[in-house]
């Protein structure tokens, strides 16, 4: 069974610091990886996608993928109070496969 | 501009009374998905359509059905809602394989 594991938190980070979020996945056939941000009562919003080993940067966000270790991470630099949310890690195989989500990490940015 | 639209945003139904949730998209994407997200849990895939081909997840209850009359619309039918079916229902679409899934705003279902 495909699984994505995340630490549920809460993860508390001071404003302006770097927030580091991690997840692992069980299915070695997974090819696409995504980080979604979800505010309470809202639908998931895509933050980053990553498909190959290494780092991918977009503004304050950096996603890292290590397929050998089956590990995905998200770094948020210069954390802002508006970054406080639940961050969902998701993996997908090929074809029309849906996403397998982790339970999410609740991030709190302390002003 | 909204790309994935879900109606209604909130739905209250009675135990056992059939309910239909609606999703439409303006992206002309081949694939449409329905997820169920219960409080403090991960979204869970119920089924998806690749064009008109329907794909049911193995553990999706028979109580849940779906229809896709055309590319733009997809419906989720819950034949006899139970209290355990109260959740946020999320519709998502995707174009080419591996690309991003775009989520609608969700429909929150309450079963009384």
Residue B103 has a CB neighbour count (10 Å cut-off) of 24
Q: Tell me what pLDDT residue A97 has.
A: 82
pLDDT of residue B19: 97
- pLDDT value at residue B44: 94
- Return mean pLDDT, chain B: 93
Burial class (CB in 10 A: 0-12, 13-18, 19+), B60: middle
Q: Count CB atoms within 10 A of the CB of residue A58.
A: 10
- Of residues A22 and B100, more confidence is placed in A22
Task: Report phi then psi at B13, rounded to 5.
Answer: -135, 165
Q: What is the average per-residue pLDDT within B61-76?
A: 95
| Residue B5, both tokens | 């639209």
For residues B84 and A68, give the distance between their C-alpha atoms in angstroms, rounded to a whole number. Answer: 39
Q: How far is CA B82 from CA B47, B87, B106, B107, in A?
A: 19, 11, 19, 16
Q: Which of B90, B97, B100 comes nearest A43 by C-beta?
A: B90
Residue B96, pLDDT score: 77
Q: Is pLDDT at B53 greater than 80 in this prediction?
A: yes
Nearest chain B alpha carbon to A88: B42
* Contact residues on chain B for A94, CB-CB shorter than 8 A: 97-98
Positive or negative CA dihedral for B21, B26, B31, B33?
negative
Does B64 score more than 80 pLDDT? yes
**A77 near A60, Cβ under 8 Å?**
yes
Q: What is the 3-state secondary structure (H, E, C) of B50-67?
A: ECCEEEECCCCCCCEEEE
Q: Is the dihedral of CA B49, B34, B95, B105 positive or negative?
A: positive
pLDDT for residue B35: 97
Stretch 67-106 of chain B: residues touching chain A, C-beta under 8 Å = 88, 90, 92, 94, 97-98, 100-106
Cα B98 to Cα A60, A99, B82: the distances in Å are 24, 10, 34
**How large a percentage of chain B has pLDDT more than 90?**
81
Q: What is the pLDDT of residue A65?
A: 97
Could A96 and B103 be called an inter-chain contact, meaning their C-beta atoms sit closer than 8 Å? no
Per-residue pLDDT of chain A (111 residues; tens, 9 = 90+): 789 999 988 999 999 999 999 999 999 999 999 999 999 999 999 999 999 999 999 999 999 999 999 999 999 999 999 999 999 999 998 777 889 999 999 999 999
Record: contact B44-A101, CB cut-off 8 A: yes
Give CA angle at A92 (A108, B109), nearest 5°: 60
Residues A20, B63: Cα–Cα separation, whole Å: 40
- Residue B4: name the closest of B111, B91, B108, B82 by CA: B91
Q: Residue B1 above 70 pLDDT?
A: no
């Amino acid at each position: 069974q495909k699984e994505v594991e995340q630490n549920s938190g809460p993860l508390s980070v001071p404003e302006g610091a770097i927030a580091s979020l991690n997840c692992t996945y069980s299915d070695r056939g997974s090819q696409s990886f995504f980080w979604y941000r979800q505010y309470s009562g809202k639908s998931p919003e895509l933050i980053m996608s990553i498909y190959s080993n290494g780092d991918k940067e977009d503004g304050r966000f950096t996603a890292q993928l290590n397929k050998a270790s089956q590990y995905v991470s998200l770094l948020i630099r210069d954390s802002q109070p508006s970054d406080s949310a639940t961050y969902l890690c998701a993996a997908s195989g090929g074809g029309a496969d849906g996403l397998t989500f982790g339970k999410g990490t609740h991030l709190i940015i302390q002003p | 501009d909204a790309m994935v639209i879900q109606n209604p945003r909130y739905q209250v139904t009675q135990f056992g009374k059939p309910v239909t949730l609606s999703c439409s998209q303006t992206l002309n994407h081949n694939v449409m998905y329905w997820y169920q997200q219960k409080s403090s849990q991960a979204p869970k895939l119920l089924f998806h359509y690749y064009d008109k081909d329907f794909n049911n997840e193995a553990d999706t209850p028979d109580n849940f059905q779906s229809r896709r009359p055309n590319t733009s619309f997809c419906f989720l039918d819950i034949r006899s809602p139970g209290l355990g079916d109260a959740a946020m229902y999320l519709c998502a679409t995707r174009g080419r394989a591996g690309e991003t899934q775009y989520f609608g705003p969700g429909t929150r279902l309450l079963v009384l």
